[in-house]
């Protein structure tokens, strides 16, 4: 390819699902075999913002009562091979404006085969009246992220979630 004729990266395949995901506390879920889960303490909190996975697609779910002005998301991570480390990150980010309550927006798509060797993490920037301008970093996981609570209704971070205020 001629270095003067570089192609631009393709834009992300944006997707919005209305009322598509319902969070169920762990103490109320069924096991993958159909029976009850092992007994655990009841969860009294509810997620405001969380991640849900549907097949290879990862969605950011707005379970708050407010419309989020802006949501942008990108992914980064690494793969270690022997003594070497390879960094990866998205070129184009997903971007959504006016994300309504109970809407889920697609923030990443993982490959069930090729991504298995990568440790990946999603970063999501949210702008709203109540939350301000924040950047949320999901837990990192090999092969891609699954369901994760980002912020609880008590304004606590989810497990292994890091949040920073942006100016």
> Helix, strand, or coil here: 1?
coil
For residue 52, what are its two tokens? 């849900």
**Average per-residue pLDDT for the chain:** 87
pLDDT per residue over 40-86, tens digit each?
888 889 999 999 999 989 999 999 999 999 999 999 988 888 888 88
CA distance 83 to 131: 41
**pLDDT confidence of 12, banded at 50, 70, 90?**
low
pLDDT per residue over 115-163, tens digit each?
778 889 999 999 999 999 999 999 998 888 889 999 999 999 999 999 9
Please state whether 123 falls in left (phi above 0), alpha (psi between -120 and 50) or beta: beta
Burial level of 60, CB count in 10 A (0-12/13-18/19+)?
buried
**pLDDT confidence of 8, banded at 50, 70, 90?**
very low
State which H helix or E strand residue 9 sits in: none
pLDDT per residue over 77-110, tens digit each?
888 888 888 888 887 899 999 999 999 999 998 8
Q: Could you tell me which of 127, 137, 131, 151 has the C-alpha nearest to residue 46?
A: 151
What pLDDT shows up at residue 3? 36
């Amino acid at each position: 390819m001629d270095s003067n004729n570089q192609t631009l990266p393709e834009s992300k395949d944006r997707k919005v699902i209305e009322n598509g995901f319902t969070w169920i506390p762990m103490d109320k879920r069924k096991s993958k075999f159909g029976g009850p889960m092992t007994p655990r303490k009841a969860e009294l909190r509810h997620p405001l913002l969380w991640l849900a996975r549907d097949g290879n697609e990862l969605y950011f779910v707005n379970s708050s009562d407010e419309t989020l002005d802006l949501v942008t998301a990108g992914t980064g991570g690494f793969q270690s091979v022997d003594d070497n480390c390879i960094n990866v990150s998205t070129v184009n980010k997903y971007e959504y404006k006016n994300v309504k309550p109970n809407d889920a927006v697609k923030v990443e798509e993982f490959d069930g085969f090729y991504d298995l060797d990568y440790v990946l993490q999603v970063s999501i920037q949210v702008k709203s009246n109540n939350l301000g301008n924040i950047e949320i970093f999901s837990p990192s996981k090999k092969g891609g992220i699954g369901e994760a609570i980002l912020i609880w209704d008590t304004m606590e971070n989810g497990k292994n979630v890091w949040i920073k205020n942006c100016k």
